[in-house]
Amino acid sequence: MDLIPLPHRTERAEGFFELGDGFGIEAGPGTEGTARWLRATLGAATGFALPPKKGDEYDVLHLSVRPGLDTEEYRLVVAPHGVHVQGGSPAGVFWGAQTMLQLLGPDAFRRAPLPGRTWRLPLTEIRDAPRFRWRGVMLDVARHFMPKDGVLRHLDLLAAHKLNVFHFHLTDDQGWRVEIRKYPRLTEVGSWRARTKFGHRASPLWEEKPHGGYYTQDDIREIVAYAAERHITVVPEIDVPGHSQAAIAAYPELGNTDVVDTTALSVWDTWGINPNVLAPTDNTLRFYEGVFEEVLELFPSEFIHVGGDECPKDQWRQSPTAQDRIRELGLKDEDELQAWFIGHFDSWLTARGRRLIGWDEILEGGLAKGAAVSSWRGYAGGVAAARAGHDVVMCPEQQVYLDHRQDAGAEEPVPIGFVRTLEDVYRFEPVPAELTPDEARHVLGTQANLWTEVMEDQARVDYQAFPRLAAFAEVAWSGLPAPAERDFADFERRLAAHYGRLDALGVAYRPPTGPRPWQQRPGVPGRPIDGPPPNR
């Protein structure tokens, strides 16, 4: 049946159930959202109205929440006279409906019916549940802005693969992308840069035109609501104390004014690790408390991501203000100063019923008490955090940074990092073998990351994400065996059918034979790294 991600258990019977004009939906309590989604998506593809029906009628899709099933668990039964989707919660029902859509074939993902198309489902029973509760994708919209419609489309693609966390990287040196009404210059100044480096930061090429954009607060509310209807949690990221030049360009007092002339800074136009970081002052803390107050109103997620990565300490070492703060707080060094900075917002968020999560640099100088860790520099940070009793999301760059190149061929567009083939991603294991069972329980799940320095538009994001994101989705959802024992040949077989779904969705994926001519970027330098990535 070529399903992706692979269900836990499938039993196939002879025959099919055929959908006709009279096919309708019985939506039990809690399933109204899935019924509404099906009428919009399946209704568009088939042309069927999918009216409300009662359970004693034929040709009915029965949607129900069933006590006894786990939260995201579902059961899909296709019988001769109707279809049943049961879930342990509304989310489980929605994932079951996504599986049903796949069973209908690629044309079920189109936006209008094709003439002469018949619709039928194989008689089957599927029981399924996810391995992890955090099945995430990070999208960086700071380096290259993705307009709102593209973000909504991206959420649809996540939902189609049963991914349920959208990590929204909204701020960085190269742009501030969310409206903060208390501080209008964050978007008036911070959302636009004058030009953009084309290719890796060592590239001599520039795109000599302004780039930018931002989401209004109503845009954010729409994105969050759209995600929620698809049972996706949006986790915002507001970077502190590094990756902050766009904010400093808008409000120079946020920077280390006793070291550099922050009034001369503009939104950064190139890539890499930026030396201009936030000053560890009370003014900075109060400013970002104001930012986070509005962020919390917009995003109801349990976790708020504060970055915490790649914060050079040179300006703090040179800053009398920063050194005075180190002495005042009785800290040992600049690493502990960053830990104090992150710890402040950990306490601030905890007091408001939220939880802080940051990149694994927040381990340096002491881990904030309630913080969770996104382990990106390999597995080590996640192992250390889990052993210390902190929750972890595993997203090691050597394994699941999808901006890394997919092949060693010269035709790969702007080749970055290690070669991470489709099979490499399929054999990624999120839970480090050295963790004990108790420690492993701190692994909330896993996440693939899409950093967009060399992804200038939606088509480039598609190319880097797919088909590898389909493999990642199966790793995150399905109870696969150990990496060496996984049946990659079977995954490739199912993926051959899945390409048809991606085609219907208009996804500009990388074909298995290599990039199409228009997907290449000849002459644009990247930064390929040879050899296998370290597995640590």
Clarify whether 172 is annotated catalytic. yes
Catalytic residue among 128, 172, 239, 403: 172
User: In 330-484, where do the E strands start and end?
Assistant: 355-359, 372-375, 392-394, 416-417, 443-450
With a CB cutoff of 8 Å and minimum separation 6, the contacts of 195 are 206, 207, 208, 209, 210, 211, 269
With a CB cutoff of 8 Å and minimum separation 6, the contacts of 353 are none
- For 86, how many CA atoms within 13 A lie in the half-sphere containing its CB? 12
Clarify whether 462 is annotated catalytic. no
Catalytic residue among 62, 84, 154, 243: 243
Catalytic residue among 2, 59, 222, 310: 310
Distance CA 436, CA 140 (A): 33
Question: How do 134-140 and 443-450 pair as beta strands?
Answer: parallel
Strand partners, 19: 119
Q: Is 36 helix (H, G, I), strand (E, B) or coil?
A: helix
Find, among 201, 169, 119, 499, the residue nearest to 307 by Cα: 169
The tokens describing 495, both together, are 């993926």
Find, among 151, 247, 241, 143, the residue nearest to 190 by Cα: 247
CB atoms near residue 514 (< 10 Å): 13
Distance CA 503, CA 509 (A): 9
Distance CA 341, CA 337 (A): 6
User: Residue 55 in contact with residue 69, Cβ under 8 Å?
Assistant: no
Catalytic machinery residues: 172, 243, 310
